Structure 1
Amino acid sequence: MPLARLALAPGAGRGPLDGAWWPRCDLLELELPALVGSLDPGRGTVARVIVDAVAWPDAPRTVLAPSRVIDVTLSAVDAEAHAIVLDCGAVGRWELLVIPPGESVAAAAWLLNTAADPRNALTAAHMLALAEAGFEDDGR
Structure 2
Amino acid sequence: MTTTLDRATTLTAPEPATRLSLTPSDVRRGRLDGAWWPRSRDLLLEVPSLAAALDGPWGRVTRITVNPAQWPVIPRRIPVTGHIVHAGWFTTEQDEHTIAVFSYAPRRLTLLVVPPETDATDAARLMAAAADPANTGPASALLAAQTSGGAAGPTSRSDFLPSAVAPSDEAGEAGRRADVARDRAASWPVPA
TM-score range, shorter chain: 0.7 to 0.9
1:90-109 map, 5 Å: 90-109=105-124
The residue that corresponds to 1:110 in the other structure is: 125
Relative contact order higher in (CA < 8 Å, ≥ 6 apart) = 1
Counterpart for residue 48 of structure 1: 63
Percent identity for Structure 1 against Structure 2: 38
Q: Deviations over 1:53-90 (max 9, x none)?
A: 22124111111111110000011124332000001144
Cα drift, residue 2 of structure 1: 5.4
Residues in 2 aligned to 1:13 and 1:48: alpha-carbon distance in whole angstroms: 24
Structure 2 length-normalised TM: 0.65
Which runs of structure 2 are paired with 1:117-128 in the superposition (5 Å)? 117-128=132-143
Question: How much does 1:28 deviate?
Answer: 0.7
> 5+ residue gaps in structure 1?
136-140
Residue type matched to 1:7 in 2?
A: S
Q: TM-score, normalised by structure 1?
A: 0.88
- Contact 1:43–1:91, Cα closer than 8 Å, also in 2: no
Q: Using the TM superposition, name which of 4-13 and 20-29 deviates more.
A: 4-13
Residues 114 and 123, structure 2, Cα contact 8 Å, conserved in 1: yes
Q: Does 1:71 align with 2:115?
A: no
Match of 2:42, as an amino acid? L
User: Is it true that 1:30 corresponds to 2:45 in the alignment?
Assistant: yes
Are the aligned partners of 1:2 and 1:34 in contact in 2 as well (CA < 8 Å)?
no
| SS of alignment partner, residue 100 of structure 2 | strand
Distance 2:23 2:107 in 1: 14
Residue aligning to 2:54: 39
C-alpha separation in 2, matches of 1:74 and 1:40: 21
Q: How many residues align?
A: 135
RMSD, matched Cα: 1.9
Q: CA deviation at 1:13?
A: 6.7
The AA in structure 2 aligned to 1:88 is S
| SS of aligned partner of 1:77 | coil
CA contact (8 A) 1:87 1:93 kept: yes
Larger gyration radius, structure 1 or structure 2: 2
Residue-by-residue CA offset, 1:72-131 (whole Å, 9 max, x unaligned) = 001112433200000114431000000100011111010011111112122100110011
Structure 2 letter corresponding to 1:4: T
